[in-house]
């Protein structure tokens, strides 16, 4: 059985994922994972931000020498947008601040998320409920696809 967990905000330092259930000794094709991430960025209606981000997976745990170890895999996709001073000042996990967003956007998760997670600043919801979050899901799915191939 596979289990996965993702974390990270759209404009935060990175998106992080944990994938459990992949057996040991699976040779991973990192280029294929990166190509899958690049395909996610294409298509109609993509924002200008897609031109900033060049998604590439890095492995933090569970992979050594290009092969899985059988333990949970920890992967990271860094957000290049976070490197800009304006975004970093707003989104730094410790010192980030800024004027709170208090008006929910129609058709977005802002209002429902504010109620569910008891947030006054809607940025805390919209950063997580962004399409950018799918980058890590695509990354972990690409690993699973290699196992199934």
41 pLDDT band, cuts 50/70/90, is confident
Q: Give the residue numbers spanning the domain of 111.
A: 3-148
pTM for this predicted structure: 0.88
CB 79 within 8 A of CB 65: no
- The pLDDT of residue 85 is above 60: yes
45 pLDDT band, cuts 50/70/90, is low
pLDDT of res. 34: 97
Residue 112's CATH number: 3.60.150.10
CB 16 within 8 A of CB 7: yes
46 pLDDT band, cuts 50/70/90, is low
Q: Which of 39-48, 91-100, 114-123 has the highest mean pLDDT?
A: 114-123
Tokens 């695509």, located at residue: 138
């Amino acid at each position: 059985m596979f289990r996965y967990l993702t974390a990270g905000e759209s404009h935060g330092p990175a998106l992080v994922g944990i994938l459990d259930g992949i057996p040991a000794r699976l040779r991973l094709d990192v280029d294929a994972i990166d190509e899958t991430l690049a395909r996610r960025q294409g298509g109609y209606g993509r924002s200008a931000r897609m031109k900033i981000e060049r998604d590439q997976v890095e492995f933090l745990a569970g992979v050594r020498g290009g092969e899985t170890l059988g333990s949970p895999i920890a992967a990271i996709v860094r957000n290049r947008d976070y490197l800009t001073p304006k975004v970093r000042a707003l989104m730094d996990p410790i010192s980030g601040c800024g004027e709170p967003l208090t008006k929910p956007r129609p058709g977005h998760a802002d209002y429902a998320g504010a109620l569910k997670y008891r947030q006054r600043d809607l940025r805390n919801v919209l950063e997580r409920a962004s399409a950018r979050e799918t980058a890590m899901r695509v990354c972990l799915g690409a690993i699973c696809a290699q196992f199934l191939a």
